[in-house]
Amino acid sequence: MARRQKKTDVVIVGLGWTGSILGIELANAGLKVLALERGADRDMIQNLAYPKMIDELKYGVRHGLMLRPADSTVTIRHSLRDTALPYRSLGSFLPGNGVGGAGVHWNGHTWRALPEELRLKTYVLEKFGASVIPAGMTIEDWGVTYEELEPHFERFEYVCGISGRAGNLGGSTQAGGNPFEGPRKRDYPLPPLPTLLNGKIFGDAAKAMGYHPFPLPAANLSDAYTNEYGMQLGPCNFCGFCERFGCIGYSKSSPQTCILGALKRKSNFSYQTRSEVLRVELASDRRTATGVTYIDEKGEEIFQPADLVILAAYQFHNVHLLLLSGIGRPYVAETGEGVVGKNYAYQMTGGTSLFFKDLNFNPFVGAGSSAMVIDNFSVGQIDFGKEGFIGGSYISSGQFNGQPIRSMALPSGTPTWGAGWKKGIRDWYGHSMSIGSHGSNMSYRDCYLDLDPTYRNKHGQPMLRMTFDWKPNDIRMTQFMRSKVESIAKFLNPTSWVSGYKGDSSHYDVRPYQTTHTVGGAIMGIDPTKSAVNRYLQTWDVHNVFVMGASAFPQNLQYNPTGTVGALAYWSAHAIKHDYLRNPRPLA
Amino acid sequence: MRALVRIIGGLIVLVIVILLGLMLMPMHRTAAVTNLPAGYEPPAGAGERVAIAADCAACHTAPGGKPFAGGRVVETPIGRIYASNITPDRKTGIGNYTLDDFRAALYDGLRRDGVHLYPAMPYPSYRKMTEEDVRALYGYFMNELAPVEASVPETRLAFPFNQRWGIRLWDWASLPPAGFRPYMRSAKLDRGAYLVEALAHCGSCHTPRNGLTFAEKGYESRSADFLTGGVIGAWPAPDLRARDSAAQRWSDEQLAALLASGRNETAGVSGEMALAVEHSLQHLPKSDMEAIVSYLKAIKQDRPIADASAPRSTPAPTAQQLASASPQLGLGARLYLDNCNACHFATGKGAKNVFPNLDGNAVVTAKQPGGLISLILNGDAIPSTSERPERLVMPGFGWRLNDDEVAALATFVRQSWSNAAPAVTTADVAKLRGAVNTTPW
C-alpha cells in the first residue's frame, strides 16, 4: 500500500517547459503546486558550468542529458504485422530528462504553427476536396484556431526573448520576415541573430531565385533581455554548443533561464526530483482523478493526492501514463476506434551538404538557431492536388556548430576511415554548408501508440509500443523538397554536393538521429470520439486531468514544435485559471 | 640609581594598577538615548523591519542554518570570529537578556556577562540606533522569533587578541556618541543617513580603518573619510563618495537597481555585498531605498577616486586586439578569450543587467586586487532577488588555471580597455588560492 502524502492543489508530472509554465501560472493564481520530476535536478551552473558542458563526447555522443533507455524506453515496429522491439540505443529521437526537460538541450528554433496547419483537415477539404486525402490518412483539425492561439504564441515568445523578424504584422507584410506566417500583433522581442556566411549566400541565392529568405526565429538571444517574470538572459556568443547541451551562458531560452528561478522563490511551489509517476489515480466513478502514485528515489511507492493533475511529461510518456491509468479509451488500429494512442506522427527531414573548395565557413562559430530560411514551400503555399501530397517544409541553411565528432560533412567518395578519411577531414573541414528540408508528417490509421503485449519496464508495467513507418504521401513531399533544395544548391555552384532524402523504398530507421519531434497519441480536438483531449487540453473523460505538450498535435507540423507547445500551455493555463478553477467541470 | 629604581618600580605598579582597573572595573553601559513613555509599544512589524535593515541575518544566520541561530564564521584580520545565537533560547541564545542587556550589546558591544564583543559586531554603527528601534528589535527577537537551541563554537583568537578587556581601550578611543541626531537638509536625507550610518552599517566595510586600532575613520558623512573605501577580507569595498566612483557616476535608478536587485546595467554585486542584498537591501521599502540613494548622492566629494586606479585618458584598443585572435596575443589575452570572452565579450562590456561590465569596474581596477582574484578563482553569484529572481552565477576558474595564469588574466583585465590598474603577481594569487572558499556553486 502506497504511503499517502499531504494533499496539494495541483500536481504536475514533469518539470520541463510545459511543467514550468503551468507551475508558475497556477502558483501565481495562488494554488499550492507540486511538480514531480523523474530525472535529476539541473541547476544552470552546477551542471551546466562553463566550460565543462562543452564536451561533445559526453553530451553530444553519449547523450549525457537524455533519458537512459534502461530507465525508460518504447518498443517500435513498422506495421501491425510485426513484433515490436525495445529502442535500446538512442538514435532517431532523444527524450530529455531532468529538470528543464528537453528545454535544456534544444537548439532553440521557435516557430508558430501556420493558421492552415491548425485547421488542416478543413483547409484540405475546402481547398482541394476529399479526393486528395489518401486512404488511411487520419488528419484532423486541432480544435483551436491560430487567432485564438495568437496571444499565447506571443506570450511564449516574450517569455523566451525570441530573436527574429516579423513577416506579417497584423496582415501587413514586412520586408525581411516570413511573408507566409500567420499575422502577429507584435514583432519579436529581439532583433534577429547576426547572419553567418552560409546564411548569407543561401539568402542571396534564394532572393535571386524569387524566394523570400528570413532569419530563423531563435531562442538564442541576440541581446540582453528581461522577461515578464524578471528572469534575465544574455546575448549568445555563438559557441556552437546548443543542441544536446545546456547553455553555458544564460543565452538560450530554457525553463531554467526563463521561469524556474522565479518559480522556485514562490512558497506555494515545490518540486521533487527522482520521482517517477507510475499512474494517475481515479475516483471510483472514474470521472475525476484523486492524485498520482509515484516512486521516489529510494523506490518507495507514494500516493500524492491533488485536486488537479497536469501531465507535462515528454510526448509519449504522457500517452503512456494515460494508457496505464485507464483515462480515455485506448485506440485500436484494427477498428480505428478509441482515442488514446491515436495519430502518432514524426517528422520528415532531408538535407543536402554543399562543399566549396574556396569558401571557409568557420563552423566553430555557430548557434542552435543561426539559420536563414525560406517558407515558399510551406503547407499553406503548396497545391496539394497538383503535387500529389499533403504537407510542406521549411527550407533552411543553418550553421549550428562545428563539433569535431559529429559535424564532419565529407564529399561523397571520401573513405570513411584511415589515411584517406584524415585527408578528407583536412581538405574539407570548414568548407561545407548544408541546406535542409524540415517537413510535416501526416497521421495515419496504422501509425499509433499502445501498450506492448510483450515487454515490461523496470516497474513491471507494460512498455509503450510505437507502430510507425513512412508513407508515400510524405515520401513524395520530401522528394518534392529535394528538387527545390537541389535547385538552390546548383544555383550556388559548389565544388560538389551530396543529398540525403527518404525515397520510395525508405522505411523508418531508428538508428540515425532525425528529429525529437515526436507528436500525437493524446490529440486535441472538438469531437470526443476522435480526440483524447478537448481544445483546452483537458481529458474528455476525467475533467481534472490536463495533458500538455506535443502529444496533442493531431498530425505533425512542418515546424519545430516548441513554439506551439508553449502557446498551447499558456492557452490551457489561461482556461484553467479563468474558467476551470471557478467551476471545475468539463470545459467542452 | 636608587631613585631610578624607585621611579621604574613606581611606574610598574602604576601600570599594574591601571591594567587591573581596566580588567576589573565594572563596565559602563550607555543609557537609553530617549525616555519613552511607560507602556510604549513599538508599531507592529517594526522589529522585523529593523532586523532586516540592520542585516542581522548576514552574520547571525549560518549558510543553511536556522535563522539567527548563529554559527557563521566571520573572517577578520585577527582570526575567525563566530557569530552568536541571537534567538530567544535561554541556554544558547539571548533568552535571558533584559532590554538593558540587549541595548548594551547594540550600543556598547557588551555581552550580558560583561564580556566584550569583538567589533566584528558593528556596535559602533548600531550605537546610533534610536531607542524606538532598539525596543522594536528587542521585541522582535524576544517575542516574534522561536528559540533555537544551538551552541556556537567559542571564538578563540591568538594572544593578545584573546584578552578581551583590551577592547575597552579600543572602545574608549573609537566609539562615537550614542543615538542619531538628524543633521542633513531634509527628513528624507536624514532617513538615508540613519539607514546607512546606523542600521545598514555600510561603513563597516566601505570606510577605511586606521592602521593602529583598525577602527573606522569616521561614522557619519560629516567625517571626510566616511565611506571612502575599505576592505573586507581580500575584497575591496569601493569608495562611494568620489565624483568618479561608480556610486556617484550611476543614475539614481541604476544605483537603486544595484542595491535592490543585486544588479544594474553595468554591474553586479559580489562578495559580502551579495549577502547584504540577499538578506537586507532587497527587502527595504521603496521609500527607504530612495532615501539611501538620495543620501549617497548628497555626500559626494569632489575628488578623484581613492581606492582604485584612474581610467586611461585614451582607452587601449583591446577589443580589436582580441578580435584579431592572433596567435601572438599574450597569455592574459588568450586566457581572456578562452575563459571570459563568452560572457564579457571582446569589448569587456558584458551585457546590460546580466553580464557585468569589466571596463571601469570598481572590483577590477581596485587598488586591492583580492576581489578580482577571488572572483576568477572561485566565481561568485548575484543573488536571486524578488525583482530579479535569476541567480546569475559566474563559475570559478581556479580548477583550470594555475596561479601564473590567474595573475596574467587578472593583470590583463586590469590593464585593458580604459582600465589602468597595477599588475597582479603570482604571489598575490597564491595567497588567496585555498583561502576560505566561499564558492557559491
Please say whether the dihedral angle defined by the alpha carbons of residues B419, B420, B421 and B422, taken in this order, is positive or negative. positive
Q: What is the DSSP letter of B70?
A: B
Q: How far is CA A202 from CA A371, A401, A500, in A?
A: 9, 17, 18
- Please report the pLDDT score of residue B158 as a whole number: 77
Picking from A221, A232, A237 by the largest number of B CB atoms within 10 A of its own CB, the best residue to mutate is: A232
User: Do residues B339 and B409 make contact, with C-beta atoms less than 8 angstroms apart?
Assistant: yes
For residue B1, what pLDDT is reported?
67
Question: Which residue type does A378 have?
Answer: S
C-alpha span between A164 and A186 (Å, rounded): 11
Q: Is A248 close to B353, i.e. CB distance below 8 A?
A: no
Residues of chain B in contact with residue A257, where contact means CB-CB under 8 angstroms, are 390
pLDDT at residue B165 in the model: 74
A379/B contact by beta carbon, under 8 A: no
Q: Is residue A474 situated within a structural domain?
A: yes
Question: Is residue A588 situated within a structural domain?
Answer: no
Residue A47 has a pLDDT of: 56
Most B CBs within 10 A among A50, A55, A163, hence the mutation to make, goes to A50
At residue B76, the pLDDT reads 75
Determine contact, residues A73/A217, Cβ cutoff 8 Å.
no
DSSP assigned state of A549: S
- Which residues of B fall within a CB distance of 8 Å from A249? 342-343
How far does the CA of residue A169 sit from the closest CA of chain B (Å)?
28
> What's the longest Cα–Cα distance across chain B?
83
Tell me how close the Cα of B279 comes to any Cα of chain A, in angstroms. Answer: 14
Cβ distance A261 to B391 less than 8 Å, yes or no, reads yes
B337 in contact with A, Cβ within 8 Å: no
| Chain A residues touching residue B339 (CB < 8 angstroms) | 50-51
- Cα distance from B338 to chain A (closest Cα, Å)? 9
Q: Is A149 a member of any domain?
A: yes
Instruction: Tell me the shortest Cα–Cα distance from A432 to chain B, in angstroms.
Output: 22
How does pLDDT run across B306-338, given as a tens digit for each residue?
899 999 999 999 999 999 989 999 999 999 999
| CATH code of the domain covering residue A14 | 3.50.50.60
- A19 interfacial to chain B (CB closer than 8 Å): no
Please report the ipTM that was assigned to this predicted complex: 0.92
Smallest CA–CA separation between B91 and chain A, in Å? Answer: 32
How many angstroms from the chain centroid is the CA of residue A191? 23
Q: How many folded domains does chain A comprise?
A: 1
> Hey, what CATH class is B318-432 in?
mainly alpha
Nearest chain A alpha carbon to B356: A234
Alpha-carbon distance of A385 to B413, in angstroms, equals: 64
Any domain includes A500: yes
Residue numbers in A near B343 (CB within 8 A): 50, 234, 237, 249-250
Residues 379-438 in B contacting A (C-alpha not used; CB under 8 Å): 381, 384, 386-393, 395
Cβ contact (<8 Å) for B351 and A223? yes
| CA neighbor of A440 nearest in space, from A479, A393, A395 | A393
Amino acid letter at B383?
P
Report the alpha-carbon distance of residue A460 to residue A468 in Å, rounded. 25
Cα distance between residue B214 and residue B204, in whole Å: 11
pLDDT at residue B439 in the model: 40
Tell me how crowded residue A383 is: count the other CB atoms within 10 A of its CB.
10
**Distance between CA atoms of A510 and A73, rounded to whole angstroms?**
13
Binding residues of B for heme c: 56, 59-60, 202, 205-206, 340, 343-344
Query: Where in the sequence is the domain holding A389, given as residue range(s)?
Result: 3-580
Unique residue bearing C-alpha cell 533581455 = A225
Q: Which residue is catalytic, options A109, A152, A438, A517?
A: A517
Per-residue confidence in pLDDT tens, chain A, 588 aa: 689 999 999 999 999 999 999 999 999 999 999 999 999 999 866 555 678 888 999 999 999 999 999 999 999 999 999 999 999 999 999 999 999 999 999 999 999 999 999 999 999 999 999 999 999 999 999 999 999 999 999 999 999 999 999 999 999 999 999 999 999 999 999 999 999 999 999 999 999 999 999 999 999 999 999 999 999 999 999 999 999 999 988 999 999 999 999 999 999 999 999 999 999 999 999 999 999 999 999 999 999 999 999 999 999 999 999 999 999 999 999 999 999 999 999 999 999 999 999 999 999 999 999 999 999 999 999 999 999 999 999 999 999 998 989 888 999 999 999 999 999 999 999 999 999 999 999 999 999 999 999 999 999 999 999 999 999 999 999 999 999 999 999 999 999 999 999 999 999 999 999 999 999 999 999 999 999 999 999 999 999 999 999 999 999 999 999 999 999 999 999 999 999 999 999 999
Contact map slice: A 546-585 vs B, CB within 8 A: none
A24-30 long-range contacts (CB < 8 A, ≥24 apart) are A24/A229, A24/A259, A24/A262, A24/A263, A24/A266, A24/A269, A25/A570, A25/A573, A25/A574, A25/A576, A25/A577, A26/A308, A26/A310, A26/A573, A26/A576, A26/A577, A27/A263, A27/A266, A27/A268, A27/A269, A28/A266, A29/A577, A29/A581, A30/A268
Instruction: Give burial (CB, 10 Å; 0-12/13-18/19+) of A69.
Output: middle
Q: Which residues of A touch B352 (CB under 8 A)?
A: 224
Structure confidence at residue B24 (pLDDT): 63
Cell numbers standing for residue B297? 548622492
What are A450's strand-pairing partners?
Answer: A465
Q: In this complex, which of B345, B352, B393 lies closest to A45 when CB atoms are compared?
A: B393
State whether residue B341 sits within 8 Å of chain A by CB: yes
Give residue B357's pLDDT.
Answer: 98
Q: In chain B, which residues have their Cβ closer than 8 Å to the Cβ of A44? A: 391, 393
**Among candidates A524, A528, A572, A569, which has minimal Cα distance to A141?**
A524
Residues of chain B with pLDDT under 70: 1, 19-26, 435-441
Contact status, residue B129 vs residue B56, Cβ threshold 8 Å: no
pLDDT value of position A69:
96
Contact A233 B343 (CB under 8 A): no
* pLDDT in the model for residue B73: 86
Contacts of B441 in chain A (CB under 8 A): 43, 45-46, 49
Tell me the C-alpha distance between A532 and A509, whole Å: 28
Query: Min CA distance, A443 vs chain B (Å)?
Result: 41
* Residue among A110, A228, A105 nearest A162 (CA): A110
The torsion defined by the Cα of A275, A276, A279 and A280, in degrees rounded to 10, comes to 40
* Cβ proximity of B340 and B347 under 8 Å: no
User: What single letter denotes the amino acid at residue A116?
Assistant: E
Contact call for residues B179 and B109 (beta carbons, < 8 A):
no
Q: Is A543 a catalytic site residue?
A: no
- Please report, as a single letter, which amino acid is at residue A486: E
